[in-house]
Homo-oligomer: A and B are copies of this chain.
């Protein structure tokens, strides 16, 4: 039935993924969980070789990459725990109810099933945690969906080496052949995304590419969900009281957050609002936080960062607090030291379009707000959607009983409206991989803000609900059976309960 325009090589990949889908969907959660743990173990066993390749290909430090491998392995194990626990299935059972307020109700039971083959586009800036075996991949495999990873062009060799680890481990763990594939090349990725056998896509990258892929997914003859994690400038608001209380601590945390991984993190604090006249600028200038030179991921990113930095420094009213810079080596690699600039709110507004877009690299902008500025009202001047928004407040303000409490609450509400995660007295880089995490936000932070790409809730992106009506036990999915062989949480609606809330409807 497929009118495929894929190359023979890609056709083989997509056909194998599609062929593997039913068997993979049918694997028991505990077997899939076991496979994820085997993959995690294999990844950690290969850490020395993989990190060596990653250092060469990405310029990230050994310490960072070692930590990233651990995080990636832990992510896989966390998803293994998650699918055995089974809350993600959201199993619901409505018992048949002859006395239901709208007439006899049949037995209806609802669970979630895997979507089918998914393509995941790797990120440049997380060669492990958002690449071949990263968070999206872990969620896709945990959901029971065959996975096709499109390697990032910035670390092709690492991608191949990681894929080899994954393929061997999945086979050893007894998973069906064809559940995992790696492909290279953007055009190949686009072709696969367009194929009718592919049922969802995930992506971490720029707004421009993300928009392109989102549009492709949406305009297919049968549109599919596309989960793009795109751009974010992550506004931070610091009160005068917080600065008075701990200017040096805040300045140190800020510089560490901006400079880590050379600022190439989607959660880097891009804008920091401080009251005019507060002492943060001086605290930043005098900070002894180490700001070592760090290679940028690849020459293209370095070039683009350098241009953005020049444009920002050249904008009217922008002053450098920490000058920093970019040095290019003979291979064309850029080596950056962090840049922090300050600008008044008026000047920021005058140069809004030059300043507001994400600078992917170690640069951040301090915006000085005059007394009486309505901070909550500032939010719409930014990207409509951001991954994070942060408040630094004083111990007294944390009580919610200071004079400015209503103003702070309004700011929290404004942040909630435009971001996926609201932080207090911390920095947005470093995203905990936990059940309550939310890494996502309104467009353009993500292409679909009903979900997250970090944390266990990420798995639900690759599942969809199915209900069974009056199904004999022999034909029910295990999660919906009365004897509950998987031991998953089941939300049960007993017969008769509609009598109270339906009473006045008679």
Stretch at the interface among A6-14, A145-153, A156-164, A414-422: A414-422
Q: Is the CB of B412 within 8 A of A475?
A: yes
Binds B, one of A181-189, A243-251, A341-349, A430-438: A430-438
- Of A196, A424, A447, A452, the most chain B CB neighbours within 10 A belong to A424
Q: What residues of B have a CB within 8 angstroms of the CB of A212 in the complex?
A: none
| A113 in contact (CB, < 8 A) | yes
A469 within 8 Å of B by Cβ? yes
- A465 engages B443 (CB within 8 Å): no
Q: Tell me the chain A residues, 446-480 only, with Cβ under 8 Å from chain B.
A: 447-452, 457, 460, 463-475
- Decide: B437 and A467 in contact? CB cutoff 8 A: yes
A70 sits at the interface (CB 8 A): yes
Q: Are B435 and A469 in contact (CB under 8 A)?
A: no
Within 8 Å by CB of A466, from B40, B70, B419, B502, lies B419
Interface flag for A208 (CB, 8 Å): no
Instruction: Decide yes or no whether A22 CB sits under 8 A from chain B.
Output: yes
| CB 8 Å contact bits of A222-236 with B (1 = contact, 0 = none) | 110100000000000
Copies of the chain in the assembly: 2
Given A108-B434, A437-B110, A467-B422, CB of A474 within 8 Å of CB of B400: yes
User: Would A422 and B468 count as touching, CB distance under 8 A?
Assistant: yes
With a cutoff of 8 Å between Cβ atoms, the chain B residues found around residue A493 in the complex are 434-436
Query: In chain A between 199 and 241, which residues have their CB closer than 8 angstroms to a CB of chain B?
Result: 214-215, 218-219, 222-223, 225
Contact call A434/B94, Cβ cutoff below 8 A: yes
A67 to B505, CA, bound (A): 11
Query: Which of the 9-residue segments A99-107, A292-300, A364-372 touches chain B?
Result: A99-107
Interface presence of A319 (CB below 8 A) = no
Chain B CB within 8 A of A359 CB: no
Q: Is A311 an interface residue (CB 8 A)?
A: no
Residue A81 is within 8 A (CB to CB) of chain B in the complex: yes
For residue A491, which residues in chain B have a CB less than 8 angstroms away from its CB?
87, 435-436
For A469, give the chain B residue with the smallest CB separation.
B423
Which of the candidate stretches A52-60, A72-80, A255-263 sits at the interface with the other chain?
Answer: A72-80
Residues of B within 8 A of A438 (CB): 110, 465-467
Q: Is A28 an interface residue (CB 8 A)?
A: no
Verify if A286 is at the interface (C-beta below 8 Å from B).
no
Chain A 81-123, CB-CB to B under 8 Å as 1, else 0, gives: 1000001000011100000111001101110010010000000
For residue A408, CB closer than 8 A to chain B, the reply is: yes
Residues of chain B within 8 A (CB-CB) of A219 are: 215, 218
Inside 8 A of A106's CB, which chain B residues have their CB? 426, 432
B420 touches A93 (CB 8 A): no
Q: Contact between A465 and B472 (Cβ–Cβ < 8 Å)?
A: no
Which residue of B22, B380, B434 contacts A413 across the interface (Cβ within 8 Å)? B22
Q: Chain B contacts of A92 at CB under 8 A?
A: 435-436, 457
B400 near A470: Cβ-Cβ < 8 Å: no
A432 contacts which of B41, B102, B436 (Cβ < 8 Å)? Answer: B102
Query: What's the Cα separation between A491 and B87 when bound, in Å?
Result: 10
Residues of chain B contacted by A303 (CB below 8 angstroms): none
* CB-contact partner of A474 in B405, B475, B498, under 8 A: B405
Whether A424 lies near B471 (C-beta < 8 A) is yes
Q: How far is the CB of A388 from chain B (nearest CB, A)?
A: 8
Residue of B nearest to A440 (CB): B465
Q: Enumerate chain B residues within 8 angstroms of A432, measured Cβ to Cβ.
A: 94, 100, 102, 105-106, 108
* A275 on the B face (CB < 8 A): no
A and B contact pairs by CB, cutoff 8 A, 8 listed:
A22-B417, A70-B505, A74-B498, A77-B501, A78-B501, A94-B435, A108-B437, A424-B475
10 extra interface residue pairs, beta carbon distance < 8 Å, beyond A40-B504, A94-B437, A424-B470: A70-B505, A74-B101, A77-B504, A108-B434, A110-B436, A222-B444, A225-B450, A398-B475, A421-B467, A424-B469
9 tightest CB-CB pairs across the interface, nearest first? A400-B474, A438-B467, A218-B218, A92-B436, A398-B472, A110-B436, A222-B443, A94-B436, A423-B469
